[in-house]
Amino acid sequence: MTTISKTSEKELKEIHLDALAWKSSLQFIEGEVSFIKQLLNSYVFEPTTPNLFERLQEFREKITKVEEEIDTIYQAIRKHESELGGILDCDTVSYDHYHYQNHQLLGDTYINFHNDFQELKSDVFRYAGGILKKKKK
């Protein structure tokens, strides 16, 4: 076993900053999800819109899956941070390729989730924007 080098310690801190950024972004997404759920469950849509109930239900189901994915990613980040904390606390543990690879996989998972959520959010807003009730004059 070797002592953590200054380079490895710097890399570990950068990895920790990545995890903090992911958690911050997930918190923001949770707020967006809350808003979207309120929107989908509101009565602001033209009731005569064809397939309105079915389309809104489809979006609700997708949002439920997003919430589940958020929980899964949070758990993975917590586990990852715990492993990193153990490495930083122990002077004789080396940071190896395994930990870096896990970080990369978690980063890829987060990026894919984020991109998919942005696409879903755009779909919801495009659809909802086209069928909102018009203000009565």
d(CA 103, CA 19): 9
Residue stretches of the chain with pLDDT short of 70: 1-10, 86-96, 135-137
Q: Is residue 136 part of a domain?
A: no
Tens digit of pLDDT for each residue in 73-106? Answer: 999 999 998 887 766 555 544 556 777 888 999 9
CATH number at residue 64: 1.20.1270
Burial of 15 (0-12, 13-18, 19+ CB in 10 A): buried
Q: Note every long-range contact of 36-42, with CB atoms under 8 Å and residues 24 or more positions apart, other chains counting.
A: 36/63, 36/121, 36/124, 37/63, 39/124, 39/128, 40/124, 40/128
Domain tally, the chain: 1
Q: Is residue 137 part of a domain?
A: no
Instruction: Tell me which residue has tokens 């707020």.
Output: 31
Q: Is residue 135 part of a domain?
A: no
Rounded to two decimals, what is the model's pTM?
0.83
Q: Is residue 13 part of a domain?
A: yes
Q: Residue 94: which domain range?
A: 6-41+48-130
φ, ψ for residue 78, nearest 5 deg:
-60, -45
User: % helix / strand / coil in the chain, to the nearest 5?
Assistant: 80, 0, 20
